[in-house]
């Protein structure tokens, strides 16, 4: 049951994910699994996609990909295999994050099970996979182009205040003592975006206050290589009636930009 598209190219391309180590920088799992135990999302050789636990936003999962799902592009040269498989994950339709699911061991490609962090503010993830080799062969396992989609669960009692790239906001009322995730897409303040030496050199800070009181800060962006992504920090809602939020971007070259609802700030009702 082949779900891939084969593309051959004559030019030499860089082999992706062949010897990459998995990104294990995620947080521990939760939502029904034992402490420290991650949910494993398996893509098996019989074209089944099964999770052995919940996919909880704000936790990490393990990806187990069976290399027999794809047969194309598995070339060798000089006694060594020269191919690899890369995974892609897109959260809520955003730019994909890549992760390797293979490594080269004594000239043979072997699977690895990387950990994938599920952003706290995300509600849905789509995954797909690409195999390529040194000679320009590429093929995809992408559910016939539809990708593999999974809804994410959220911890009970946790709300998400979402500030999306298209300048829409979802700001539900909250209660004092609630845990709230502030999801802020850095693209809202992209006029300060910049990178140097392959690293993001800009940042976005969130500010909040309750009923006009003391102003506190949140780091709402974090560097991911040369890009800035949502950090999805959490806060405990203080007592009061009104939670005001606004945001500022800066970079190393002196850029400053404010997102404050044209100076009125964004307001969330506290029950």
So what's the pLDDT on residue 155? 79
pLDDT band at 36 (very low <50, low <70, confident <90, very high): low
Best mean pLDDT range from 34-38, 42-46, 178-182, 229-233: 42-46
Tokens of 109: 């490609």
Q: Is the pLDDT of residue 14 over 80?
A: no
> Mean of the pLDDT values across residues 35-44?
87
So what's the pLDDT on residue 10? 27
Tokens of 237: 């809602």
Tokens of 149: 């989609």
What's the rounded Cα separation, in Å, for the pair 152 and 169?
A: 20
C-alpha radius of gyration, the chain, whole number: 21
List of residues 6+ apart from 78 with CB closer than 8 A: none
Alpha carbons within 13 angstroms on the beta-carbon side of residue 137 total: 17
Tokens of 228: 């800035």
So what's the pLDDT on residue 37? 85
Cα–chain-centroid distance for residue 231?
A: 10
pLDDT band at 9 (very low <50, low <70, confident <90, very high): very low
> Mean of the pLDDT values across residues 108-115?
97
- Calculate the average pLDDT of the chain: 87
Q: Report the share of the chain in percent with pLDDT over 90.
A: 76
Number of H helices, E strands in the chain: 0, 27
What's the rounded Cα separation, in Å, for the pair 85 and 102?
A: 6
pLDDT of 217-229, one tens digit each? 999 999 988 999 9
In this structure, how many other beta carbons lie within 10 angstroms of the beta carbon of residue 38?
A: 22
In this structure, how many other beta carbons lie within 10 angstroms of the beta carbon of residue 245?
A: 23
pTM of the model: 0.66
So what's the pLDDT on residue 34? 52
- The sign of the dihedral angle between the CA atoms of 250, 253, 254, 256 is negative
User: In which element (H, E) is residue 103 found?
Assistant: strand 102-105
Is residue 158 a contact partner of residue 183, using CB atoms and an 8 Å limit? Answer: no
In DSSP terms, 242 is beta-bridged to: 269
So what's the pLDDT on residue 96? 93
Q: Is the pLDDT of residue 78 over 60?
A: yes
């Amino acid at each position: 049951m082949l779900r891939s598209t084969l593309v051959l190219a004559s030019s030499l391309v860089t082999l992706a994910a062949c010897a990459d180590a998995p990104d294990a920088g995620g947080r521990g799992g939760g939502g029904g699994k034992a402490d420290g135990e991650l949910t494993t999302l398996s893509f098996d050789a019989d074209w089944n996609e099964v999770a052995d636990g919940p996919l909880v936003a704000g936790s990490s999962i393990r990806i187990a990909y069976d290399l027999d799902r794809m047969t194309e592009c598995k070339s060798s040269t000089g006694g060594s295999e020269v191919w690899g498989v890369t995974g892609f994950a897109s959260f809520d339709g955003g730019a994909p994050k890549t992760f390797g699911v293979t490594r080269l061991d004594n000239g043979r490609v072997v699977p690895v099970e990387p950990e994938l962090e599920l952003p706290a503010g995300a509600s849905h993830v789509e995954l797909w996979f690409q195999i390529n080799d040194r000679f320009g062969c590429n093929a995809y396992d992408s559910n016939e182009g539809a990708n593999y989609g999974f809804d994410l669960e959220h911890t009970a009692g946790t709300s998400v205040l979402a500030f999306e790239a298209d300048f829409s906001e979802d700001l539900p009322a909250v209660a004092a003592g609630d845990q709230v995730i502030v999801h802020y897409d850095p693209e809202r303040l992209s006029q300060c975006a910049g990178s140097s030496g392959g690293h993001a050199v800009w940042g976005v800070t969130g500010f909040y206050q309750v009923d006009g009181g003391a102003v506190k800060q949140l780091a709402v962006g974090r560097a991911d290589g040369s890009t800035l992504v949502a950090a999805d920090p959490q806060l405990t809602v203080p007592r009061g009636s009104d939670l005001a939020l606004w945001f500022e971007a800066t970079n190393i070259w002196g850029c400053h930009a404010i997102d404050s609802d044209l100076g009125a700030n964004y307001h969330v009702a506290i029950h």
